Amino acid sequence: MSVQPGWYVDPADPETRRYWDGEGWIGAPIPVDATPPEGPPPPEPAPVAAPAPSGPAAHPGQPGAAPQPGYPGAAPQPGHPGAGQWPGRPAGAGQWPGQPAGAGSWPAAGQPGGPPLGGPYPTWPGRPPLPQPHGLPLASYGARLVARLIDFGVVFLLNVAVNGWFVWRYLEEIAPYLRESFRRALAGNSSTEGLPQPGDQAAGLQVVILLIATALWFAYEVPSMAAGGQTFGKRLVGIRALPVEADQPLGFGRATRRWSTLGLPTMLWYCCGFGLLLQFVDAVSVLFDQPLRQALHDKRAQTVVVQLPRTRPDTRTTPRDRANPPGDTP
């Protein structure tokens, strides 16, 4: 399911909005509190080509070449903090990435120790910043795993209470088969002839057990995710699921789509564990997704999992407003 085209808060910069055309961001960003225009942004004007220099071509930085904007020795340009300095460089740092602070001009292009002649445009080294959807950092892999294990534990206890009798009846139906298979294995006999077959009710009980387990998981997770984006495990760990396009509750439909990708394969456990394999692939898919760390169920519901702030203001130490004491109505 893809997000419809429109103006949305940029996950990489929550202070701005950008236009999403269904496949990617286009156009220049606008402030988040500005009213976006109707439809997509106007196309950006094409850059004006600089006139070709007369005479023999000279690379910026070589003797006889005129200083060019953005190269060492150039005059200050609009948007640049100083002559030959790169945006974002600390004061007093060298003119090229890797040049020590306080050093003089870097050797000319093509000369020993300088940038390669005709090489790529210098960039500031380092990894790009991680996106912060709605101003919140993405939840770590470890936090998501711990929350899911807590939820599995709660669902297991619910199954013990509700599904325990059906599991006991199922084990009674297959117990003769298991005992005889185990006895032959200890004796080194691999023959399957004459093994007692499971009881007539074994297959039906297996279906009932899986139906009840799936229903309990649905009843535990979907309503709480729809209302607040948190299960019991997520609340303990301090993470929350949010829609990609807005900071709002998931709603019942989106919460159901998100759960069904991971929960419905439980019904396929009896098919040689095929359902369990699908759930494992879904669970580990978050390790390979960049930059939003979305599992398969997140991608289907267009959600992200964020880390909530861990510190909250202490009302005992927060100074009170003397002009409006607690209990007064403005």
Mean pLDDT for the chain overall: 76
Whether pLDDT at 282 is above 70: yes
pLDDT digits (tens, 9 = 90+) for 137-167: 999 999 999 999 999 999 999 999 999 999 9
Domain map of the chain by residue range? 1-31, 134-170+201-307
pLDDT band, residue 76 (cuts 50/70/90): very low
Amino acid at 300: R
Tokens encoding 310? 């861990």
The closest alpha carbon to 123, from 157, 147, 149, 89, belongs to 89
Residue 94 phi, psi (nearest 5): -65, 170
pLDDT band, residue 21 (cuts 50/70/90): confident
Q: What pLDDT is recorded for position 108?
A: 54
Determine the angle formed by the axes of helices 274-284 and 251-263, rounding to 10 degrees. 120
pLDDT digits (tens, 9 = 90+) for 289-318: 988 999 999 999 999 999 999 765 555 555
What is the pTM (predicted TM-score) of this model? 0.56
Q: What pLDDT is recorded for position 18?
A: 81
Question: HEC string of the chain?
Answer: CCCCCEEEEECCEEEEEEEECCCCEEEEEEECCCCCCCCCCCCCCCCCCCCCCCCCCCCCCCCCCCCCCCCCCCCCCCCCCCCCCCCCCCCCCCCCCCCCCCCCCCCCCCCCCCCCCCCCCCCCCCCCCCCCHHHCCECCHHHHHHHHHHHHHHHHHHHHHHHHHHHHHHHHHHHHHHHHHHHHHHCCCCCCCCCCCCCCCHHHHHHHHHHHHHHHHHHHHHHHHHHHCCCHHHHHHCEEEEECCCCCCCHHHHHHHHHHHHHHHHHHCCCCCHHHHHHHHHHHHHHHCCCCCCCHHHHHHCEEEEECCCCCCCCCCCCCCCCCCCCCCC
- C-alpha distances out from residue 229 to 81, 147, 254, 308, Å: 44, 13, 10, 12
Q: What pLDDT is recorded for position 330?
A: 39
Evaluate whether 175 touches 195 at the Cβ level (below 8 Å).
Answer: no
- Dmax (CA) of the chain: 98
pLDDT band, residue 11 (cuts 50/70/90): confident
Whether pLDDT at 114 is above 70: no
pLDDT digits (tens, 9 = 90+) for 208-249: 999 999 999 999 999 999 999 999 999 999 999 999 988 899
Q: What pLDDT is recorded for position 24?
A: 78
Whether pLDDT at 326 is above 60: no
Give the mean pLDDT of 195-214. Answer: 89
Q: Whole-angstrom Cα distance, residue 124 to residue 129?
A: 13
Evaluate whether 299 touches 241 at the Cβ level (below 8 Å).
Answer: no
